[in-house]
Structure 1
Amino acid sequence: MIFSKLKSYINGLVSNFGSIPSDRVKDLKTVADYILSKKKSEEMARLNYICTHNSRRSHLAQIWTQTAAAYYGIKDLETYSGGTEATAFNPRAVAAIERAGFKVQNPDGENPRYEVSFSDEAEPMICFSKKFYDDFNPDKNFAAIMTCSDADENCPFVPGAEFRKSITYVDPKVADGTDKEAEVYDERCKQIATEMFYMMSLLRSGL
Structure 2
Amino acid sequence: MYTNLSKTIATIASIEVSNERKEVLQALIDYIQPKVVDFKEIRLNFICTHNSRRSHLSQVWAQTMAHYFGLTQVYCYSGGTEATAMFPKVAETLLNQGFQIQVLSEGNNPVYALKYTANGPPIICFSKTFDDVFNPESAFAAIMTCSSADQGCPFIAGAEKRLPIRYEDPKIFDHTDVMDSKYLERSIEIAAEMYYVFSQFYSLD
Q: How high is the TM-score relative to the length of structure 2?
A: 0.96
Q: Which amino acid aligns with 2:65?
A: A
The DSSP-based 3-state class of the residue aligned with 2:64 is helix
Alignment-derived partner of residue 28 in structure 1: 25
Q: Deviations over 1:149-184 (max 9, x none)?
A: 110111111111011110000000001011111010
Runs of 4+ in 1 over 6 A off after TM superposition: none
CA drift of 1:15 comes to 1.0
What is the CA–CA distance in structure 1 between the aligned matches of 2:198 and 2:107, rounded to whole Å?
33
Pairing 1:70–2:67 present: yes
What is the CA–CA distance in structure 2 between the aligned matches of 1:42 and 1:10, rounded to whole Å?
26
The DSSP-based 3-state class of the residue aligned with 2:128 is coil
CA drift of 1:206 comes to 4.2
Alignment-derived partner of residue 8 in structure 2: 9
Alignment-derived partner of residue 164 in structure 1: 162
Q: Which amino acid aligns with 2:149?
A: A
Relative to its length, the structure with more helix (as a share) is 1
Q: Which amino acid aligns with 2:141?
A: A
Q: Deviations over 1:92-142 (max 9, x none)?
A: 111111111111111322111100011111111110000000000001110
What is the CA–CA distance in structure 2 between the aligned matches of 1:37 and 1:195, rounded to whole Å?
20
Pairing 1:43–2:33 present: no
* Fraction of identical pairs, as percent: 46
The DSSP-based 3-state class of the residue aligned with 1:81 is strand
Q: Deviations over 1:63-119 (max 9, x none)?
A: 001100111111211000000010011001111111111111113221111000111
Q: Which amino acid aligns with 1:10?
A: I
Sort the Cα spacing of 1:42 and 1:206 in 2 relative to 1 into closer, same or farther, 3 A.
closer
What is the CA–CA distance in structure 1 between the aligned matches of 2:203 and 2:107, rounded to whole Å?
42
Count of aligned residue pairs for this structure pair: 204
Contact 2:37 2:204 in 1 (8 A): no
CA drift of 1:21 comes to 1.9
Contact 2:36 2:204 in 1 (8 A): no
Sort the Cα spacing of 1:7 and 1:116 in 2 relative to 1 into closer, same or farther, 3 A.
same
Sort the Cα spacing of 1:146 and 1:196 in 2 relative to 1 into closer, same or farther, 3 A.
same
